[in-house]
Structure 1
Amino acid sequence: MHVLVLGGTTEARALAESLHGRGERVTTSLAGRVAAPRLPGGEVRIGGFGGTEGLAAWLREHRVDVLVDATHPFAGTISFHAAHAADLARVPLLALRRPGWVPVAGDDWHPVDSLAQAAEALPALGRRVFLTTGRMGLSSFAHLDDLWFLVRSVDPPQPPHPPRMRVLLDRGPFTLDGERSLLAGHAVDVLVTKDSGGAATSPKLTAAREAGLPVVVVRRPPVPEGVPTASTAQEALAWVTGPASGR
């Protein structure tokens, strides 16, 4: 069996490691947006496919038996490309998507639909912003010259970006004590995050709740309908290696 995993997430790496450990052929495809990604076991390819038709051709050429879309919840249009390509190549498709975060008592969440809407909401919520949406999309906040930003990302961001900004290069998982210290040490009074889900970056939400800070949460973009979905790597492994995949 040859499984192509559209990766870039913790769940994608875990699934690839499990398949590789079972002796299955697995190829993980990474977009190449991170300079030094964490590589899973098995084969790895980096870069795009050239759209839907290119992905479908790759599936046929490399005799892929199962396609798993385990991309980041905010990866954009790749999930729609995967659904269309799987139809064209007649390859079973599974979406591996970790659940989004859910507010609990004490949270002061302000949901928005885009980074642009997040930028619009900020001036009324705080002056010192902890921006944890990654290095992509900082142009949405570049006009907010009255606010100060602490930007955390894996790789250095490129302009345009906010003029008053400090960059913290780091990658999860993060600890609750570390997030508490970060908020207090930089006098942060508002947090901005995407609803990425997962435990690796969720401590910031707990730290913000404890500090009574407002949190601007960017909702996830739409995904293709009718695609079988798993919420964990273990569920995905059972689907891929079991009768559910329809192989």
Structure 2
Amino acid sequence: MTIDDHPDRTSPEPRWRLLVLGGTAEARALAAAVTARPDVAVVSSLAGRVADPRLPVGEVRIGGFGGATGLARWLAAHRIDAVVDATHPYAARMRVSGIEAAAQAGVPHLRLERPGWTAQPGDRWHRVPDLAAAVAAVPTLGRRVLLTTGRQSLAAFVPLTGLWFLARVVDAPDDPVPAHVRLLRSRGPYTVDGETALIREHRIDVLVTKDSGGALTEAKLTAARRLGLPVLMIDRPAPATPPATVTTVDEAVRWLDRRLPTG
């Protein structure tokens, strides 16, 4: 689909084509920044896991590619000149596919990933390496859980019937949830006052989250700090071969300027 159905017919034909693997605020900001260049056409790819995603400017593709090989074929068929992977920090499979596909197609590849959160004085964080470790640890920290790890991980916590969960999700899971799980459908940004009120209203005594980083959902950590709640923080998956990575949109734009020169 295309956001702009009425392009400026006097604009020069783009010389370069960029694929942004997106779905994040950083991906949307990058697409907006690059579309200001008339010599670059931007295609943003979304996985399609959210029913009503926030769409970036420019051309948008929704759905998978069929793994690294399928993506490599797509890059060649659409004459893509560079790939920027700005997917969620926990989209490990897409990250690997992007690296492998770019290598197969001989296309420059960059990872744009916002920094994780940093513990502040007064925080009671308990870091665990993965989802399985979080499931094992949460009963030792509390009984009423604010769970903000997304709908795809919800099933892992359902067997913990001795706990009560307030599971905040954008879209509801396909399967019905049991009585000890209450769904809260919402999407950030959130405020510290709002998060504090939510925790108090539901008598939450432990927060479980991923180290997603960014300001959009950081308020829950500030609220937990103020209320003295423990936070179970699931670490990001570490890639076997770390790609070239930047942490800001400005850095990604400068990288593109070097590889897709004007003039």
- Please report the TM-score for the alignment, with normalisation by the length of structure 2: 0.89
Residue 224 of structure 1 deviates from its aligned partner by 4.9
Aligned partners of 1:116 and 1:141 also within 8 Å: no
Q: Structure 1 residues 129 and 226, CA, compared in 2 at 3 Å: closer, same or farther?
A: closer
CA distance in 2, matches of 1:100, 1:159: 31
Aligned partners of 2:158 and 2:181 also within 8 Å: no
Identify the residue that residue 211 of structure 2 maps to in structure 1: 195
Identify the residue that residue 158 of structure 2 maps to in structure 1: 142
CA distance in 1, matches of 2:58, 2:232: 38
Deviations 1:30-65 (A, max 9, x none): 000000100011110011101111100111110101
Identify the residue that residue 59 of structure 2 maps to in structure 1: 43
Larger-Rg structure: 2
Identify the residue that residue 18 of structure 2 maps to in structure 1: 3
SS across alignment from 1:21 = coil
Identify the residue that residue 98 of structure 2 maps to in structure 1: 82
CA distance in 2, matches of 1:127, 1:75: 29
Identify the residue that residue 36 of structure 2 maps to in structure 1: 21
- Structure 2 unaligned spans of 5+: 1-15
Q: How many residue pairs align between the two structures?
A: 245
**1:122-201 matches, cutoff 5 A:** 122-159=138-175, 161=177, 163-201=179-217
Quote the RMSD (CA, aligned, Å).
1.5
Match of 2:27 among 1, 12, 22: 12
CA distance in 1, matches of 2:108, 2:219: 36
Residue 114 of structure 1 deviates from its aligned partner by 1.7
- Structure 1 unaligned spans of 5+: none
Identify the residue that residue 77 of structure 2 maps to in structure 1: 61
Residue 158 of structure 1 deviates from its aligned partner by 2.9
CA distance in 1, matches of 2:179, 2:19: 41
CA distance in 1, matches of 2:242, 2:224: 36
CA distance in 2, matches of 1:4, 1:36: 21
Residue 227 of structure 1 deviates from its aligned partner by 2.1
CA distance in 1, matches of 2:240, 2:42: 24
Identify the residue that residue 3 of structure 2 maps to in structure 1: none
Deviations 1:116-137 (A, max 9, x none): 2111111111111000001111
Residue 237 of structure 1 deviates from its aligned partner by 1.1
Q: Which residue identity lines up with residue 6 of structure 1 in the other structure?
A: L
- Please report the TM-score for the alignment, with normalisation by the length of structure 1: 0.95
Residue 162 of structure 1 deviates from its aligned partner by 5.2
Indicate the percent of aligned positions where both proteins have the same amino acid. Answer: 55
Aligned partners of 1:139 and 1:160 also within 8 Å: no
SS across alignment from 1:183 = helix
Q: Structure 1 residues 224 and 11, CA, compared in 2 at 3 Å: closer, same or farther?
A: farther
Aligned partners of 1:79 and 1:224 also within 8 Å: no
